[in-house]
Amino acid sequence: MNFTVDRADFGMLNGARVELIRLSNGVVEASILTYGAAIHSVRVPDREGQLGDVALGHATLAEYVDQPQFMGSTVGRLANRVAGGRFMLDGTEYRVPTNNGPNSLHGGDQGFDKANWQVLALDTEGAASVTLGHVSPDGDQGYPGTLNVTARYALDAANTLHVDYRAVSDAVTVVALSNHAYWNLAGEDSGRSALDHILTIPADHYLPTDATAIPTGELRPVECTAFDFRAPMPIAARVRDAGEAQLRIGRGYDHNWVVAHDIADHLRLMAHVLDPVSGRVMEVHSTQPGLQFYSGNFLDGSSVNKSGRMLRMGDAIALEPQQFPDTVNRPEFGSVRLEPGQVYRNQIAWRFGVQPAGNQHHSRIEGEAV
């Protein structure tokens, strides 16, 4: 396997250079931006061997800065929403920016997605990889403790793109990172909707939300609902079901599926996605217990992708492995607490392949018992 890593300029931000790092294994190519430690592109073959870019992104740095939509970004300190933009930690109330209605989203209005990360290492030994680093100072967006974060992206010989997030703090804090890549396996320039993808999520329960997208605390069974993806299901089949109150709240899917109840020390399957036209398949694996599935409900034509197409609802989907939303305020969901010197970790892997023409067999995936 011929692993290569290349660096290129992608623009200037506040006097600092933003870089694009291309990882290749000779079959698949992934490009990573230092801005937001973001996935910029992932080029993978279809069943005919034709390469297509399946990750949404922008052509220029200015578009990332001017139209922030977490496009491929690393999000934190806390991925997803914090109710009311506040939480208690050891008897002290902390307030963080409310940048999503009454709530805080993805770390605030100046979260990790808007930082220009530093290149710490490049490697081609066993995989094409880049390690990026970022230091979030004490009080950053209202969060306590100085947090040192790294993100190591690696493209291996099995056409799998990995990211290994790690973080260490000098004081008690909270942290839960994820990646907000938008995917369209038909290709970001294809003009075809990602809602035609066939999705499988091995989860028996999901978290319903209130009108502001904060989980109510209920773990609701997916059985006999529009949220049942244990067997392969086209996303479009039920995404506009007006009879489902939860879909009306989010204008589609924007919910957390309960794949497990613990953080694992090994990767486990979170989702399987198939584009039946191109035959491209993507499996998402992670060590985290939850999967936020977002059907691109608020893509409204205000931004364009790398191929110059206006992005509309359903042009891509996000599948974000993470701790459950608002866990910082719901101890029954687990814990996002990080002690000084303790290492936080989230591993995510996107495994790409193809389904041969005429192969329509799919097996049911069972979720873990609740």
Radius of gyration (C-alpha) of the chain in whole angstroms = 19
Q: Is the pLDDT of residue 290 over 60?
A: yes
Pairing relation of β-strands 290-294 and 317-322?
Answer: antiparallel
Contacts of 22 by beta carbon, 8 Å cutoff, 6+ apart: 4, 5, 6, 7, 8, 29, 30, 31
170 DSSP assignment: S
Contact in structure between 356 and 223 (CB atoms under 8 Å): no
User: What token pair was written down for 49?
Assistant: 């061997």
299 DSSP assignment: -
Count the alpha carbons within 13 Å of 320 in the hemisphere toward its beta carbon. 34
Q: What percentage of the chain exceeds 90 in pLDDT?
A: 89
Q: What is the model's pLDDT at position 302? A: 86
**Mean per-residue pLDDT, 205-217:** 97
**Long-range contacts of residues 119-127, Cβ cutoff 8 Å, at least 24 apart:** 119/7, 119/19, 119/21, 119/34, 120/150, 121/152, 122/5, 122/7, 122/21, 123/5, 124/3, 124/4, 124/5, 126/3, 126/156, 127/3, 127/25, 127/154, 127/155, 127/156, 127/157, 127/162
pLDDT band at 250 (very low <50, low <70, confident <90, very high): confident
Instruction: Kindly list the catalytic residues.
Output: 180, 320
User: What token pair was written down for 347?
Assistant: 């591993």
pLDDT band at 363 (very low <50, low <70, confident <90, very high): very low
Q: How far apart are CA 257 and CA 129, in angstroms?
A: 30
Per-residue model confidence as pLDDT tens digits over 137-180: 999 999 999 999 999 999 999 999 999 999 999 999 999 999 99
Contact in structure between 32 and 38 (CB atoms under 8 Å): yes
Where are the chain's structural domains? 4-354
Q: What is the model's pLDDT at position 360? A: 52
CATH architecture of 4-354: Distorted Sandwich (2.70)
pLDDT band at 359 (very low <50, low <70, confident <90, very high): low
Q: What is the model's pLDDT at position 224? A: 95
Instruction: Output the average pLDDT for the chain.
Output: 94
Per-residue model confidence as pLDDT tens digits over 329-358: 999 999 999 999 999 999 999 999 999 876
Q: Is the pLDDT of residue 366 over 80?
A: no
Which of 352, 251, 326 is CA-nearest to residue 295? 251
Q: Is the pLDDT of residue 370 over 50?
A: no
Length of the chain equals 370
100 DSSP assignment: B
